[in-house]
Amino acid sequence: MSFEEELKKKIKSEVKADEPMSLHTSWQVGGPVDYYVCPNDKKEIKEIVRLCNKYGMPTYVIGNGSNLLVLDGGIRGLVINIGQPFCYINRVDNGLVAGAGTPMTMLAKTAVEYGLTGLEFTAGIPGSLGGAVIMNAGAFGGYIGEYVRSVTLIATEGEEKQLSSEEIVFGYRTSSLIGKGIVVELELKLYEGDLERSRSKIEHFLSERRRRHPDLPSCGSVFRNLPGAPAGQLIENAGGKGLRVGGAEVSTQHANFIVNKGTATAADILTTITTVQKLVKEKYDVELQPEVKIVGEEG
């Protein structure tokens, strides 16, 4: 029995072959993956992980495909999409239990509806909660890692584990969760507060994002900020704003965004990234580090 046959036998979720990753990334680019599946529950994830270990099948985990550049040659292996079945939010004590597939803006708004404050800054952050906690996503001075009580994941051998906040190290756009397994659920510690003030903050953060960020397909911020030196400002001062390669462009609205003007390939975006890095290196002798994860093979 082949990997594909056994996988289809073990799980109920649809297994797609040669699925275009352009359908699953916010940049709307990327070649096909060998196999693609959106598991229904934790049990299916455990089965998938065990089978991939058995067959030596490489796995890639995605949420809503933001912060991800899949190259034009696609991905050899299996993509696991932690999506709709893992989108839920429940109140517990002074906090929330939420699935890893929960969008960040939904998380912020629902917390307020439950009478809890603290997550207003997450409104408008692209992506879902699982990826956000692994990369310790932040905005407007807040970071998701500050609010984590525990993380439930399916570890690399297919076993379920729960890590407390004391067992996790959070840094700037990183955490010790990287490589530990597939995050499926989080418990967040929050606080009761002034709900009208919280709603006002959410609207303010969303309006700031609409004002500052382009609405064309992008991955959000491409490069990490340096202490005291926002990447967008360095790129703009180095002459990178508006730089265009094929269908990819450094946004004229915010220079730390690379947008798909409609015809971009992953190769266009990758060339834009490296060109911007070279411009900033030549002007400031600084090497910009991408926040975006680049995976797959070049076409």
Active site residues: 173, 221, 291
Tell me if residue 70 falls in helix, strand or coil: strand
Q: Which amino acid is residue 77, in one-letter code?
A: G
- Asked whether the beta carbons of 11 and 46 are under 8 A apart, the reply is no
Q: Is 216 helix (H, G, I), strand (E, B) or coil?
A: coil
Classify residue 82 by its DSSP letter.
-
Q: What angle do CA 199, 203, 206 make, to 5 degrees?
A: 135
For tokens 């399916």, the residue is: 154
* Partners of 180 in the β-ladder: none
Cβ contact 220:284 at 8 Å: no
For residue 127, give the amino acid letter.
G
What's the burial of 278, exposed, middle or buried (CB within 10 Å: 0-12/13-18/19+)?
middle
